[in-house]
Amino acid sequence: MARGLIEDRLGERARILGGERAILVGLDLEGDRETLDELVALSETAGVAVKGRVIQRRRQPDPSYFIGEGKLARLREQAELAPADTIILNHALSPAQSRNLEEQLGRKVIDRPQLIMSIFAQHARTKEAKLQVEMAQLEYLLPRLRGWGRALTGLGGGIGTRGPGETQMEQERRRIKRRIQRLRKDLEKAALERQVRGRRRRRKALPLVTLIGYTNSGKSTLLNGLSGAEAHVEDKLFATLDPLIRRAPLAGNREVLLVDTVGFIKRMPPQLVPAFLSTLEAVKEADLLLNVLDISDEKVFEHLKTVNETLADVFDDGPRPLMINVLNKADRLDDAEGRERLERALHEMRDPIAVSALQGQGLDGLLERIAGEVGAVRERLRVAIPYARASLIDELHRWGEVECEEYRAEGVMIEVVLAEEFVQRLERHAAENGIKLERLPL
């Protein structure tokens, strides 16, 4: 029986599979004004039918049960009445809290990180994303097994002996650790393959325009609108995990590549950050970022802050691609509050542009802006680097698109397409280090 319980946790009980009926639970810690709206959207995205919401005001979570014991009894009744087979908490639980709640409620208990990881697992499409999500789930599970093992040990031996539960648990731990090692190796391989693909794409030298922004802000819809293609649009958070790439025609017979990304979200479980960042390769390599903001959402300024903080992490204070703030869903601003929000955004943000991705307003203007930005900012240079300054070669590969690299007796000759800001830096560096630069036609 003990073995069955552990196996069950590994499989179904630690994640959402879709089809669950759930009651959602959140704590309203002081000043937080919890509504659970976002948790409802996340749950529905994962395929859960939401049967009720419970919010408790508390200064601090209960150390054993997270919610108070009185609330716990009411929650048990509510779950029986609903009926609900799953309880989803809008917070991260400690292993002991998860275990205690499951024992008390007799139902599957899923915390917020597990819910988000389940959504990622359901939507992962590339091999790399799948590996990363599985690794995140197993790493989250590992410390939790210890708690279950201890609970099970109580059934078996006395002091100083190992109960059957603990032995099973040790086996499971070893199995999971081996699996994690294996995943880590596979991930290294997958990352290499991605880099090779990236190189191949860059040789074509189409400017890369990457759509970023909060979940549900309309990135996939905008990608369709700009490219005329059928990308995957759903009214679900996280419908896009892997980046999607489309070509978009610009005036003057030019083209850009548009890349869709998974949305940003607040309170991302730390285990998931690698999976998330791998979709951000497209952000790092971008010539231009379109920051898609839902201007009809009153939280739009908070969302902008999340995006900016994430970008600061991704670029580590280094130089960033240019960014256009796109105020989407402008068609939905029919009240005074909405129009005020738009005014404020137009006033506070750098060069924003209002559009409706759904209805098409503003998209021609946006395409013109894109053409203007990615057309004007790039230059092609020939750089002659003496071997003593070879570290510059790596930098050029990092910041530009190296199109040609020739090793000669006197040094390395590189042809590279660079953004204007790097050209200026390179010019300064070159003057100080005796490196010859020559401008070439684009």
Determine which residue in the list 233, 250, 289, 311 makes contact with ligand GDP, applying CB under 6 A: 233
Determine which residue in the list 115, 187, 357, 374 makes contact with ligand GDP, applying CB under 6 A: 357
Cβ neighbours of 64 (radius 10 Å): 14
C-alpha to C-alpha distance for 354 and 339, rounded to whole angstroms: 12
- The residue nearest ligand GDP at its CB is 218
**Cβ closest to Mg ion, residue 122 vs residue 220:** 220
Cβ neighbours of 379 (radius 10 Å): 19
Q: Is 122 in the site for ligand GDP (CB under 6 A)?
A: no
Residue 439's contacts (CB-CB under 8 Å, 6 or more residues apart) are: 379, 380, 381
Closest distance between ligand GDP and the C-beta of residue 350, in Å? Answer: 21
Asked whether 16 and 118 are in contact (CB, 8 A), the reply is yes
Contacts of ligand GDP in 255-274 (CB under 6 A): 263
Closest distance between ligand GDP and the C-beta of residue 361, in Å? Answer: 8
Closest distance between ligand GDP and the C-beta of residue 214, in Å? Answer: 7
Instruction: Tokens 């100080």: give the residue.
Output: 432
For ligand GDP, how many residues bind (rule: CB under 6 A)? 21
**Cβ closest to ligand GDP, residue 322 vs residue 358:** 358
With CB under 5 to 8 Å by kind, the binding choice for 215 among Mg ion, ligand GDP, none is ligand GDP
Q: Which stretch binds Mg ion (CB under 5 A): 193-201, 212-220, 331-339, 421-429?
A: 212-220
Q: Is 220 in the site for Mg ion (CB under 5 A)?
A: yes
For Mg ion, how many residues bind (rule: CB under 5 A)? 3
Beta-strand ranges (E) seen in 29-97 are: 49-57, 86-89
With CB under 5 to 8 Å by kind, the binding choice for 357 among Mg ion, ligand GDP, none is ligand GDP
Helices (H), 280-400: 281-284, 300-315, 336-348, 363-376, 391-399
**Cβ closest to ligand GDP, residue 26 vs residue 263:** 263
Backbone angles phi, psi at 319, to 5 degrees: -65, 145
Closest distance between Mg ion and the C-beta of residue 244, in Å? Answer: 8
C-alpha to C-alpha distance for 415 and 383, rounded to whole angstroms: 6
Backbone angles phi, psi at 4, to 5 degrees: -55, -40
Contacts of ligand GDP in 193-232 (CB under 6 A): 213, 215-221
What number of helices (H) and strands (E) belong to the chain? 15, 14
With CB under 5 to 8 Å by kind, the binding choice for 221 among ligand GDP, Mg ion, none is ligand GDP
Determine which residue in the list 98, 227, 240, 328 makes contact with Mg ion, applying CB under 5 A: 240
Burial (Cβ within 10 Å: 0-12, 13-18, ≥19) of residue 303: buried
Determine which residue in the list 118, 132, 240, 278 makes contact with ligand GDP, applying CB under 6 A: 240
**Cβ closest to Mg ion, residue 149 vs residue 243:** 243
**CA angle, 99 then 103 then 106, to 5°:** 125
Residue 2's contacts (CB-CB under 8 Å, 6 or more residues apart) are: 152, 155, 156, 164, 165, 168
Closest distance between ligand GDP and the C-beta of residue 357, in Å? Answer: 4
Taking alpha carbons only, the member of 105, 88, 109 closest to residue 26 is 88
Exposure letters 283-293 (e unless 16+ CB within 10 A, then b) = beebbbbbbbb
Contacts of ligand GDP in 309-348 (CB under 6 A): 328-329, 331-332
Closest distance between Mg ion and the C-beta of residue 219, in Å? Answer: 5
Closest distance between Mg ion and the C-beta of residue 211, in Å? Answer: 9
**Displacement of CA 379 from its chain's centroid (Å):** 32
Closest distance between ligand GDP and the C-beta of residue 297, in Å? Answer: 10
C-alpha to C-alpha distance for 371 and 388, rounded to whole angstroms: 39
Closest distance between ligand GDP and the C-beta of residue 388, in Å? Answer: 48
The residues that touch ligand GDP, with contacts defined as CB under 6 A, are: 213, 215-221, 233-235, 239-240, 263, 328-329, 331-332, 356-358
The residues that touch Mg ion, with contacts defined as CB under 5 A, are: 219-220, 240
